[in-house]
Amino acid sequence: MKDERAKLLGTALYSSASQIALRLISQEPLSGDSEVISLIRQRVRQAVAYRRRFLAAAANTNAYRLIYSEADSLPGLIVDRYADVLALQALTQAMDREDIKQAVLQQLSGELGEEVVSVVERIEPRIRELEQLPTASSCLLSGTKAATVYALNGVRFHYDALAGQKTGAFLDQRENYAAAEAYTHGRALDMFCYQGGFALHLARRCQSITAVDSSRPALEAAEQNAALNPREGWPEIEWMEANAFDLLKDYSAAGREYETIVLDPPAFAKSKRALDAAMSGYKELNLRALKMLQPDGILVTCSCSYHVSESDFQQMLTSAAADAGKRLWLVEKRGQARDHPTLLSVPETSYLKCFVCRVI
C-alpha cells in the first residue's frame, strides 16, 4: 500500500465490497500469504498473552474478549471466550478466507490447549451481505459443545454460542457491572436488562430489583441465569416485559421512587444521521429516571453508540438533570472493559460510555 507519492504506507487487507477497501495490518511490507498468515499467528499470540496478564487478577471471571479486531491489529476478527467455548466472527473478506481462519484456530488451540473444548463461528448475515460473502449460518468449527456456563465477577450465566445478540453476551460491560454493584443500594430499577448482567450484580447489594426488557426471550434467559446463582440473601428479582420509554413515563408520572436506576439501552445512533434523534431519546430516558431518584440515589447510565461522544453524552445528562430539578454528582466516567482496548489511531474502537452519578 502506497500513498500518492509512492511512499510505502504498509500492508493492508483488501475488500472488494466494503466501504473500507483497505485495512492496515502492518506498517511493513509483507510478501505473500505466508508472511501475512505468520503475522496473524503472532498477533493472536500477543492478544491471548495480554488477556492472560491482566485477567489473572480478575476474580471469578472466565469470560472476556480475546481478540478485538483493529485494537489487536487483526482487523475484521472478533473472538470471545466463554469459559471453555470460543465464539469467532470473521467480518471481512480477508478474515473469512479458509486458510486464515484455520491459522487463527490452530494458534488459539496452541495457546489455550485443553482450556477450550469448542469453537463456534457466529455469523452476522448483514455483514456478510455487505462484504459480498456467501450466505452461511452459525456453526461449530471444532468440538461438539455449543453451550456452557461462565462467570463474570463471580456471577454465573448460561451461554449458548448459537443464540443471543452479538457473540452472545455484553462482555464489554463486565467491569461496569462490578462498579455499579459497588455504588448501588436500596430499591433498584434496571432498564434494558437483556439477560440480567446488571440486575444479577445489583442483587448482591440492593433490597429490591425490577428488571425490564422488551424481549421475552431475553427475560427468560435472565430468569435462567438467576436460577444459577445462590438465592440466600438475594432479593427476588421482578422480571418485566415492557417498553422502556412507556414504562419510565408511567412510573415517573405515578411518583415511583428508587435509590438506584440503571439505563443500558441499545445503540440509538448507528449513523451520524441518527444523532439528533438518539440524543433526544437518551435525554428522555435520563430525565424520567432522574425524576424518580431520591437524594443519595445512584444513576448508572450508558451509551454504546460510537457516534455519541462522551462530551455529547455528558451535556445531555447535564440538561436532563436541570430539567428534572436535580443536582447531580458525576462520580465516575467509565468505558468498555480492558479486554476491549482502545487503539488511539482508530477512534471507532472506543464506543461505550458509562456514567455513574449521584443525586445530591
The residues carrying an active-site annotation are 304
Nearest Cα residue to 61 out of 337, 336, 263 = 337
Those residues whose C-beta lies under 8 Å from the C-beta of residue 184, and which sit 6 or more positions away, are 202, 205, 206, 259, 260, 262, 298, 300
> Phi then psi for 214, rounded to 5 degrees?
-85, -10
Q: Which helix (H) or strand (E) holds 208?
A: strand 208-213
Question: 296: buried, middle or exposed (CB in 10 Å: 19+, 13-18, 0-12)?
Answer: exposed
Cα 23 to Cα 13: distance, rounded to the nearest angstrom: 5
Residue 174 contacts residue 337 (beta carbons within 8 Å): yes
Q: State the helix-helix crossing angle for 33-55 and 98-112, rounded to 10 degrees.
A: 30
